[in-house]
């Protein structure tokens, strides 16, 4: 029996909500399959290899269980690995804020209406199209450096004179180091900001124009509109851009830790390299966890 006025469902009838859910599963299926095949399975295999000594024989890989030997050697006997991770984390806290601020400022500029806007957007997105650390290494070594220079003197931006001036002004050495490091790496940071600019730009274009019109009617200036409208709406994207920047920085081929891990794989130290990769993965996960714990709670994702 059915209640009066209640429509009877036809056999095999699928509601719009259920159809939408199944369409979502279909679109997610390739990504899920790729995640399992190319990340989850290799990840657990790599973790298993980290507890073994691996050599290549005539019939394939020859494994020997060694337990925590690779981890003990890496953490207590290998002097460079822990130092490299520490230096990369310090460098992250220097470069990531600059990338975020620079990307936000450029995206605000590119969101304005002016002649040549499409060309300007293309120029800032070129590094994403040709994203390769080999390209930037060629640019730095062949274009911007002087053959008569070597070492630190061959940097793209010379900041030694500026550093001397600030030291003569008795500015704190930590402030001087931070500023000189930021300036000397400005080309690299600009090169690494393409995706971040695109993410901020797409978020800016989703903000309704009526918000700013109402703010203008209420007497708000551009500065107040930014802090009352633009920044709160962009806050979730700031978290997204931060996470992307951290992962991109830690997994770059120019990263010293990544270089050492790849070198160990090339030297056929597969067990030791797998242990190094596993520890490095946990470090990245811990840094992301701290960022989300500190800043994630303060963001309103419903806006």
pLDDT (tens digit, 9 = 90+) per residue, 176-232?
A: 676 666 666 666 677 778 888 888 988 888 888 888 888 888 888 888 888 888 888
| 59 vs 140, more confident | 59
Q: For CA atoms 49, 53, 54, 58, give the dihedral sign.
A: negative
State the pLDDT at residue 130.
Answer: 62
Window from 3-7, 32-36, 252-256 with minimum mean pLDDT: 3-7
| 193 vs 131, more confident | 193
Residue 292's SS3 state is helix
Residue 167 — very low, low, confident or very high, per pLDDT cuts 50/70/90? low
Query: pLDDT tens-digit profile of 169-178?
Result: 767 777 767 6
Average pLDDT over residues 44-58: 85
Residue 298: exposure state from Cβ atoms within 10 A (0-12, 13-18, ≥19): exposed
Question: Which residues are registered as beta bridge partners of 53?
Answer: 64
**Does residue 159 carry a pLDDT above 80?**
no
Residue 148's SS3 state is coil
Of 24-38, 73-87, 131-145, 257-271, where does the model show the most confidence?
24-38
State the pLDDT at residue 299.
Answer: 61
**Does residue 33 carry a pLDDT above 90?**
yes
Query: pLDDT tens-digit profile of 4-23?
Result: 555 555 555 677 788 888 88
State the pLDDT at residue 32.
Answer: 92
Tell me the CA end-to-end span of the chain in Å, nearest whole number: 45
| 59 vs 66, more confident | 66
d(C-alpha 293, C-alpha 303), whole Å? 20
pTM summary value: 0.71
**Does residue 152 carry a pLDDT above 50?**
no
Mean pLDDT of the chain: 78
Residue 151 — very low, low, confident or very high, per pLDDT cuts 50/70/90? very low
Residue 148 — very low, low, confident or very high, per pLDDT cuts 50/70/90? very low
State the pLDDT at residue 129.
Answer: 63
The secondary structure of 35-84 as a DSSP string is HIIIIIHHHHHHHHHTTEEEEEETTEEEEEE-TTHHHHIIIII-HHHHHH
Residue 153 — very low, low, confident or very high, per pLDDT cuts 50/70/90? very low
Residue 136 structure tokens: 């930037």
Going from N- to C-terminal start, the domains of the chain cover: 76-298
**Does residue 154 carry a pLDDT above 50?**
no
State the pLDDT at residue 19.
Answer: 82
Question: Which residues are registered as beta bridge partners of 60?
Answer: 57
Superfamily of domain 76-298: MetI-like (1.10.3720.10)
- Asked whether 166 and 178 are in contact (CB, 8 A), the reply is no
Q: How many percent of the chain have pLDDT more than 90? A: 4
Say how many C-beta atoms besides its own lie within 10 A of residue 107's C-beta. 25
**Does residue 45 carry a pLDDT above 70?**
yes
- Asked whether 131 and 174 are in contact (CB, 8 A), the reply is no
Average pLDDT over residues 123-129: 69
């Amino acid at each position: 029996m059915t209640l009066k006025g209640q429509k009877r469902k036809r056999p095999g009838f699928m509601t719009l909500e259920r159809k939408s859910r199944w369409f979502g599963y279909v679109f997610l299926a390739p990504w899920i399959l790729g995640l399992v095949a190319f990340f989850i399975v290799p990840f657990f295999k790599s973790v298993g290899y980290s507890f073994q000594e691996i050599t290549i024989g005539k019939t394939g890989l020859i494994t020997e269980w060694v337990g925590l030997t690779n981890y003990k050697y890496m953490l207590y006997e290998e002097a460079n690995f822990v130092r490299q991770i520490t230096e990369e984390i310090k460098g992250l806290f220097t470069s990531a804020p600059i990338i975020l601020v620079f990307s936000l400022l450029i995206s605000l500029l590119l969101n304005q209406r002016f002649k040549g806007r499409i060309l300007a957007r293309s120029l800032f997105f070129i590094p994403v199209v040709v994203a390769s650390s080999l390209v930037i290494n060629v640019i730095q070594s062949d274009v911007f450096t002087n053959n008569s220079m070597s070492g630190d003197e061959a940097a793209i931006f010379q900041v030694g004179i500026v550093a001397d001036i600030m030291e003569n002004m008795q500015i704190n050495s930590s402030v001087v180091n931070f500023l000189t490091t930021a300036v000397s790496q400005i080309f690299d940071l600009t090169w690494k900001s393409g995706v971040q600019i695109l993410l901020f730009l797409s978020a800016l274009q989703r903000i309704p124009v009526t918000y700013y019109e109402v703010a203008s009617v209420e007497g708000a200036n551009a500065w107040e509109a930014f802090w009352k409208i633009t920044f709160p709406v962009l806050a979730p994207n700031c978290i997204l851009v931060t996470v992307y920047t951290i992962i991109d920085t830690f997994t770059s081929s120019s990263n010293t830790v990544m270089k050492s891990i790849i070198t160990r794989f090339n030297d056929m130290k597969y067990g030791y390299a797998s242990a190094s990769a596993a520890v490095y993965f946990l470090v990245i996960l811990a840094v992301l966890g701290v960022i989300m714990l500190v800043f994630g709670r303060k963001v309103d994702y419903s806006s």
